[in-house]
Amino acid sequence: MGKIILYHGSPNKVVVPQFGFGEGKHDYGKGFYLTENIELAKEWAVCRPDEMNGWVHKYELETDDLRILDFQEHNILSWLAELMKHRDASDSRRYKVLSKKFIDEYGIDTSEYDVIKGWRANASYFYIAKEFVRDNIDIEILEELLSLGGLGIQYCIKSELAYSKLTEVDDGLISVDYSEFNEKYNERDIIARKKMRELVDSDANKVTNVFSTLFER
C-alpha cells in the first residue's frame, strides 16, 4: 500500500496530532481522523454552526508495517458494534442490555490495530444506527442504506506507531470558506436523509430480520 495522502478538516490553522488525545465518544474512539477525499475534508472543516472559516491539513501516511482494520471488508454489523462501543444510539434500558450482547456477538477487538478505516457516522449515518436499534430497519437493507449517504470513508489513527508514520505536508494547508462548504455539508446531509428515509419506508424494508431478532438465533 505504501504512502497514502490523507486530509484532516479542522477549524484550527495549527493542528498537532498526538497519541492518546481525541474525543472518546467519536466513532472509533480516541484518535486522529482523516479522509482521502479533500472535498469531504473541506466540508468537515466547517460543519459546526459557528460561521467560522476552517482549514484542511494535508498528510502523508506511510502504511507499510501498519495493521489496518477496514470495516468495509467485514460484516456491516461489526461496524455498528464498533459505533455502539463509543456512542449511545439510545438511552433506554432495553438498548443498554441488548447493545452489550450485540457488541459481544459482532464486535471486533480493535486494540491490536494501528489504524481503523470505515464509514463516518455523522448525523445521517447515526440516524441509521438509531433506527436499527429501535427495530425499524431490516438487516437486509443496512448496507444499501450506508451506500446512499455518500458521506465518505474516514481513517482513524490509533497507535503510537501509526502517529509516528503520519507527516503533515508543509505546503498542503488550505483555507476553507465557511459559507460555501457548510452549505455543501448541509445539502449532502439533507439529500442523504431523504434517500435513506425513502428506502426505510419502502417495501424493501421487510422489518423482520431486525436488531432484537439477532438474539433469538
Q: What is the pLDDT at residue 150? A: 66
pLDDT 10s digits, 60-115: 999 999 999 999 999 888 988 898 888 776 677 877 788 888 899 999 999 999 99
pLDDT 10s digits, 152-191: 789 999 999 999 999 999 999 999 999 999 999 988 888 8
Q: What is the pLDDT at residue 98? A: 82
Contact 115, 66 (CB under 8 A): yes
29-33, 48-52, 168-172, 181-185: range with lowest mean pLDDT:
48-52
Query: Phi/psi of residue 50, each to 5°?
Result: -100, 0
Q: What is the pLDDT at residue 66? A: 97
What pTM did the predictor assign? 0.89
Please name the helix (run of DSSP H) or strand (run of DSSP E) that holds residue 10, with its range, or none.
strand 3-10
Distances, alpha carbon 105 to alpha carbons 21, 71, 93, 95, 98, in Å = 29, 16, 19, 15, 10
Domain total of the chain: 1
Distances, alpha carbon 194 to alpha carbons 55, 148, 199, in Å = 29, 10, 9
More confident residue, 10 or 25: 10
d(CA 191, CA 169): 33
Domain that holds residue 96: 3-216
d(CA 174, CA 10): 10
- The CATH number of the domain holding residue 169 is 3.90.175
| pLDDT level of residue 24 (50, 70, 90 thresholds) | low
